[in-house]
Chain A
Amino acid sequence: MDFNILRELGEWAALGFYEAVELELPWPVNYGRAYRRMYENMDVRVPDGRYLIPVEPFANSRTRESHNIWSAAGLILDFNHHSGLKVNQDIADEKKSKFPRHAKFIDELCADLNKRLVHFGGYTHSNPDIRRVVGEGFLSMEKELDKELAAVKTLGGKAVPSELNLLLALKEYTTGIKAYYSRTLKALINSVEEAKGERKKKLGIICDSFSDCFMTKSETFIGGFLAVNFAWMLDGCDSIGRFDQALGPLFEKDLKSGKLDLQFARELLDEFWQNFERMNGWNLQIGGWTPDGKDGCNELTRECILASGRNKQRRPNVAFRITGSTPDSLLVEALKSISKGSGKPALYNDDLYVKSLKSMALGLTDEDSREIGFGGCTETMISGLSNVGSLEGSINLAKAMELAIFDSFDPVRKVQAGPHTGRFENFKTYDEFLVALKRQIQFQTDSFIAWDHAELRRRFTAGDPKLYRTFFTGDCVKNRKSFEAGGARYNWAVVSYQGIANTIDGAAAIRKTVFDDRSISAEELVGALKSDFKGFEKIRRKLLSVPKFGNDDTYVDETGKDIISYAWNELYSHETPRGGRYIPSCILFVTYLWAGREVVATPDGRHAFEALVDSVGAAQGCDEKGPTALLKSVAKLPLWLAAGTPVLNLRFQKSLFSSEENLAKIAKLIRSFFKQGGMQIQISVLDTKEMRNAQKTPEKYKDLIVRIGGYSEYFNVLDKELQETVIERTEHGL
């Protein structure tokens, strides 16, 4: 390897990696060396107008907006939180045009790295343990590492090699982090000297605070905030955990003593929120129980809610954990933020989450069960103490139903995809069909588990062991086991279900038309689905006219509950190789689009290859009886079992939020849903864009109700002129 060229290209991680190759350092010390060299050398920037330092290290950092791809790096060998070290082909191409004389070198470098760095299926979001970062500091955490390393070394030849190598790798990693911290501090000191006026004053506060935090316990809010921000950068800007719990006491203390300027604090919060957007960061939690069982809401909780209202953007996903003791005033404040347009925070039934997780075979202590965090979209974890394989994968229920109808012959791939469960035309009763459907669900679950076990086991001994997470996640160091190998205190795997409402509606339609009313013959149904309803429009109309999930209809809801309970229990019965269980969820993600492309027409009337339903709610536009009926239908499902988070989307028109009285009633609506077993709800406020969509595709907005004062009317039935007036009023928040 030509190290001079790597230096010229600024390929610091690759430099460290090949150093390890030449020195024949064992896995995963090679990864440790790569991270170390990266942090010892990478740029430290203090860009104008920014205070949360360090920021992403490269001025040419990509954003989702500009390239539809994000990378907080400018390195060919870069890292992101879910893959660890990996080759970034886009940066490779950029560097080839910047350094044409090294084009061949870069091609060979990429090829060699791709060979050496392996990656496996699955995805991992996580929360670093920010309580320790703030409350103890990095050096204290490193001391724990040193202690374990010393203990293993004294064993001499009896030491377990994998343990020793992991701890040595971590030591490389922490050496790099310390260098990065010092270089950041120096950069800040230089920047303060060059700055002027107000900027100099503020940057001075940042510099002082930074010099006094992260390495040791944080004594001020700004210091704690910078330490949290630093940990978030090191973790690849993923999900941060219980932000208000880690920093709330410092915030309240500094505000009371007059040390903290509230306006500056808000400026920093806004910058943090915008960094989530800029860096494709994910989740942040507020509220919820404290470890000793009190409602954790504090002044910073309120500030986070206000920040969510001020920053109308995609990220962060703010999860507000609402306990029975959370003040209604904060819930109403959250509703106000939601109504401003970001739809955030999302609302969580904390009492039931804690109870559900405690009741599962996950080994949670009382204290830890109250430390729920979320990663990514909303995958449930224990903040700073877990690896929950989020998302480990997904299960497509609509596909299982399709295979039950076609006796396992996959009409898309044209192959026999599983066990024969009987010809649909031969089923005499709905129960016979149900047996086939359940067998298909079981087969699909088992196949997924087998695949996932194999993938997970490979991570134990190869690939990036996620050194950053191994260091910043509770108990990995103590257990001398990597994050990927199950070193964290808690392990489980969150799996998302696709097409829940399609399956419920489809089963109810089959039950009613084919078996109860006999208004459609089995042959007609199979023919209609095969031909995507071409020539079977009347059959489709009959299927569509069967009541749908989301309307508090006992027949449909009970039919659905039976199937969904079965599916979720089936998954939950499996253990992961890291320990812990597989936990169901239903999480809004782009995957429901792809999942739909694998499934032909379904008996709920859905056309072939259309997207599947993306939440535990009704199929779009099918909840025609309003929010109470939708919430009741949904609460009939065993939501507690889908503790990975059963996402429910609720849409309201903006004018509904217009008075304090209405806000109080919406708060009661949510409390009541939680009482009935609801776990999570995310409310979006219809904006003008969506109303324009409703004008274009009214069939997807059958549920869109316009409320003016006490009067309500379906948007679709208003004439064009009135629709325009309503849209105009929405724009102005009337």
Chain B
Amino acid sequence: MSMKNVSGIVFDIQKFSINDGPGIRTTVFLKGCPLDCLWCHNPESKGKEPEISFISEKCILCGYCAATCPNKCHAIDGKGHSYDRAKCLRCGKCTMECYSKALELIGKEMTVEEVMSEVLKDVPFYETSNGGMTISGGEPMAQFQFTKALLEDAKKHKLHNCLETSGYAPMERYKEVLRNVDIFLYDFKESDPARHLKCTGVPQDIIVNNLVELDSLGAKSVLRCPIIPKLNDRKNHLLEIAKLANRLSNIIEINILPYHPLGKSKSSRIGKEYPLSCKEFPDEDEVRSWIEMVQNSTRVPVKKG
């Protein structure tokens, strides 16, 4: 069966990705995620359906959106531009008229072929740098058929594939994509099960079990660990990261991802609250101490990601 016409909801295709696996890569971000992490820096990736992003800083008050919107969601007056999300049906007509790109449709239905034609444009860069394609999200496994088809098609073009995943999906599905994934960029967010549930909204055991099983099947992995001050920067959690890595025989490295507050502005533009009180970059020395602490307990290389 040709999978070229399978489609999914993509919210970004980012070229020159250099922190999502080896070499120069193109990262395909898929929409929709079953987790609900407090620190999520891509809140627009959470919902599965397309949504409208509004960045008031970019608005030039031209009023074309108001003239176009069938539901009269946009209004321009002396106070500026107001956007009534409750009435909005997310048809995206306003975004087509918005030259200044204050209004943008986040999430677009694309076929495998459409995505791949964009990804394949950068083959010369993958070749020189040993890079490739990374699928990220959201949670790519939440659009399983699409993810599977993308990985398969990329392999037909001999691309190196990375799959970034929260690990929260049925094991059978991972088994199905395993042979087309060169490296799993596998998130590990919280070692304490109760805290995990509280911070991400999902249980932790399935995630750890999947990782261990994938490793036993020979899957290469990079463990990606977001560290959020006051939430999971405990010594105990850092040691648990090393412990988990030590159980794996095909792990390549551990990435410590220090919290950054850039997701904050993204929340507001899709009309969501940012749940975290922490809004500052952690101190560089602090980040270094996290990395050292993990590195002291494992032979797996630990890097800032």
Contact A659 B304 (CB under 8 A): yes
Contact A668 B124 (CB under 8 A): no
User: With A625-B15, A626-B14, A717-B57 as given contacts, are A672 and B281 in contact (CB-CB < 8 Å)?
Assistant: no
Contact A734 B129 (CB under 8 A): no
Of the listed stretches A131-139, A290-298, A573-581, A705-713, name the one at the interface; the rest are far from the partner chain.
A705-713
Complex CA–CA separation, A725 to B131 (angstroms): 31
Give the A interface residue count (CB, 8 A).
38
Check: A671 CB closer than 8 A to any chain B CB. yes
Nearest opposing residue in chain B for A624, CB measure:
B101
Residues of chain B with a CB closer than 8 A to A706's CB: 262
Distance (whole angstroms) from the CB of A721 to the closest CB of chain B = 8
User: With A628-B15, A710-B20, A734-B284 as given contacts, are A722 and B269 in contact (CB-CB < 8 Å)?
Assistant: no
Contact A717 B281 (CB under 8 A): no
Contact A545 B265 (CB under 8 A): no
Contact A716 B15 (CB under 8 A): no
Complex CA–CA separation, A659 to B302 (angstroms): 13
Nearest opposing residue in chain A for B26, CB measure:
A628
Residues of chain B with a CB closer than 8 A to A552's CB: 121
User: With A628-B125, A709-B305, A729-B281 as given contacts, are A716 and B57 in contact (CB-CB < 8 Å)?
Assistant: yes
Residues of chain A with a CB closer than 8 A to B122's CB: 628-629, 632
Residues of chain B with a CB closer than 8 A to A719's CB: 57, 264-265
Residues of chain B with a CB closer than 8 A to A671's CB: 128
Contact A672 B16 (CB under 8 A): no
Contact B124 A676 (CB under 8 A): yes
Distance (whole angstroms) from the CB of B149 to the closest CB of chain A = 24
Complex CA–CA separation, A659 to B57 (angstroms): 32
Complex CA–CA separation, A439 to B62 (angstroms): 39
Check: A98 CB closer than 8 A to any chain B CB. no
Nearest opposing residue in chain B for A631, CB measure:
B125
As a 0/1 sequence over residues 93 to 131 of chain B, the CB contacts with chain A under 8 angstroms (1 = contact) are 000000100000000000000000000011011011101
Contact A717 B124 (CB under 8 A): no
Contact A722 B20 (CB under 8 A): no
Residues of chain B with a CB closer than 8 A to A710's CB: 17-20, 257, 305
Contact A662 B18 (CB under 8 A): yes
Distance (whole angstroms) from the CB of A709 to the closest CB of chain B = 6
Nearest opposing residue in chain A for B164, CB measure:
A710
Complex CA–CA separation, A711 to B122 (angstroms): 20
Residues of chain B with a CB closer than 8 A to A196's CB: none
Contact A675 B128 (CB under 8 A): yes
Contact B128 A711 (CB under 8 A): no
Check: B239 CB closer than 8 A to any chain A CB. no
Nearest opposing residue in chain B for A710, CB measure:
B19
Contact B305 A722 (CB under 8 A): no
Residues of chain A with a CB closer than 8 A to B43's CB: none
Distance (whole angstroms) from the CB of A578 to the closest CB of chain B = 39
Contact of A665 (CB < 8 Å), options: B23, B55, B303:
B23
Check: A669 CB closer than 8 A to any chain B CB. yes
Complex CA–CA separation, A354 to B55 (angstroms): 49
Contact of B269 (CB < 8 Å), options: A708, A717, A725, A734:
A717
Check: B140 CB closer than 8 A to any chain A CB. no
Distance (whole angstroms) from the CB of B218 to the closest CB of chain A = 25
Check: B258 CB closer than 8 A to any chain A CB. yes
Check: A627 CB closer than 8 A to any chain B CB. yes
Check: A151 CB closer than 8 A to any chain B CB. no
Nearest opposing residue in chain A for B60, CB measure:
A699
Contact B20 A718 (CB under 8 A): no
Contact A718 B265 (CB under 8 A): yes
Distance (whole angstroms) from the CB of A339 to the closest CB of chain B = 15
Contact B15 A626 (CB under 8 A): yes
Complex CA–CA separation, A267 to B121 (angstroms): 47
Residues of chain A with a CB closer than 8 A to B280's CB: 725
Contact B262 A672 (CB under 8 A): no
Residues of chain B with a CB closer than 8 A to A665's CB: 18, 23-24, 129, 131
Check: B41 CB closer than 8 A to any chain A CB. yes
Contact B55 A717 (CB under 8 A): yes
Check: A453 CB closer than 8 A to any chain B CB. no
Contact B128 A722 (CB under 8 A): no
Check: B58 CB closer than 8 A to any chain A CB. yes
As a 0/1 sequence over residues 1 to 23 of chain B, the CB contacts with chain A under 8 angstroms (1 = contact) are 00000000000001111111001
Contact B261 A716 (CB under 8 A): no
Contact of B129 (CB < 8 Å), options: A626, A632, A668, A722:
A668
Complex CA–CA separation, A629 to B17 (angstroms): 12
Check: B260 CB closer than 8 A to any chain A CB. yes
Residues of chain A with a CB closer than 8 A to B304's CB: 659, 709
Contact A722 B262 (CB under 8 A): yes
Interface secondary structure of A, over-half rule: helix
Enumerate B272-289 residues with CB–CB distance to A below 8 Å: 280-281, 284
Contact of B262 (CB < 8 Å), options: A537, A544, A713:
A713
Contact B24 A628 (CB under 8 A): yes
Enumerate B243-280 residues with CB–CB distance to A below 8 Å: 257-258, 260-262, 264-266, 269, 280
Contact B125 A672 (CB under 8 A): yes
Chain B CB within 10 Å, residue with most, of A544, A629, A669: A669
Complex CA–CA separation, A541 to B17 (angstroms): 31
As a 0/1 sequence over residues 601 to 644 of chain A, the CB contacts with chain B under 8 angstroms (1 = contact) are 00000000000000000000000011111001000000000000
Nearest opposing residue in chain A for B126, CB measure:
A672
Contact A669 B99 (CB under 8 A): no
Enumerate A636-692 residues with CB–CB distance to B below 8 Å: 656, 659, 661-662, 665, 668-669, 671-672, 675-676
Residues of chain A with a CB closer than 8 A to B264's CB: 719, 722
User: With A628-B122, A629-B121 as given contacts, are A709 and B258 in contact (CB-CB < 8 Å)?
Assistant: yes
Enumerate A712-734 residues with CB–CB distance to B below 8 Å: 712-713, 716-719, 722, 725, 729, 734
Contact A712 B128 (CB under 8 A): no
Contact B261 A669 (CB under 8 A): no
Nearest opposing residue in chain B for A708, CB measure:
B260
Residues of chain A with a CB closer than 8 A to B20's CB: 710
Distance (whole angstroms) from the CB of B15 to the closest CB of chain A = 5
Enumerate B10-49 residues with CB–CB distance to A below 8 Å: 14-20, 23-24, 41
Contact of B265 (CB < 8 Å), options: A698, A717, A729:
A717
Chain A CB within 10 Å, residue with most, of B62, B127, B129: B129
Contact B260 A709 (CB under 8 A): yes
Contact of B125 (CB < 8 Å), options: A656, A669, A698, A718:
A669
Contact A725 B265 (CB under 8 A): no
Complex CA–CA separation, A665 to B121 (angstroms): 18
As a 0/1 sequence over residues 121 to 161 of chain B, the CB contacts with chain A under 8 angstroms (1 = contact) are 11011011101000000000000000000000000000000
Contact A672 B128 (CB under 8 A): yes
Nearest opposing residue in chain B for A665, CB measure:
B18
Contact A709 B257 (CB under 8 A): yes
Chain A CB within 10 Å, residue with most, of B16, B17, B129: B16
Distance (whole angstroms) from the CB of A623 to the closest CB of chain B = 11
Contact A626 B16 (CB under 8 A): yes
Contact A709 B19 (CB under 8 A): yes
Complex CA–CA separation, A561 to B23 (angstroms): 29
Distance (whole angstroms) from the CB of B274 to the closest CB of chain A = 11
Contact A669 B55 (CB under 8 A): no
Residues of chain B with a CB closer than 8 A to A713's CB: 262, 265-266
Residues of chain B with a CB closer than 8 A to A709's CB: 19, 257-258, 260, 304-305
Distance (whole angstroms) from the CB of A463 to the closest CB of chain B = 49
Complex CA–CA separation, A675 to B128 (angstroms): 9
Complex CA–CA separation, A541 to B96 (angstroms): 12
Complex CA–CA separation, A668 to B16 (angstroms): 11
Distance (whole angstroms) from the CB of A535 to the closest CB of chain B = 15
13 A-B pairs, CB-CB below 8 angstroms? A544-B99, A627-B16, A632-B124, A659-B304, A665-B24, A672-B124, A672-B125, A709-B258, A717-B55, A719-B57, A722-B262, A722-B264, A729-B281
Closest 5 CB pairs of A and B: A710-B19, A668-B129, A672-B128, A541-B99, A626-B16
| Interface positions of A (Cβ within 8 A of B) | 537, 541, 544-545, 552, 625-629, 632, 656, 659, 661-662, 665, 668-669, 671-672, 675-676, 698, 706, 708-713, 716-719, 722, 725, 729, 734
Given contact pairs A672-B127, A711-B262, enumerate 6 new A-B contacts (beta carbons under 8 Å): A628-B121, A665-B129, A669-B125, A672-B24, A672-B128, A718-B262
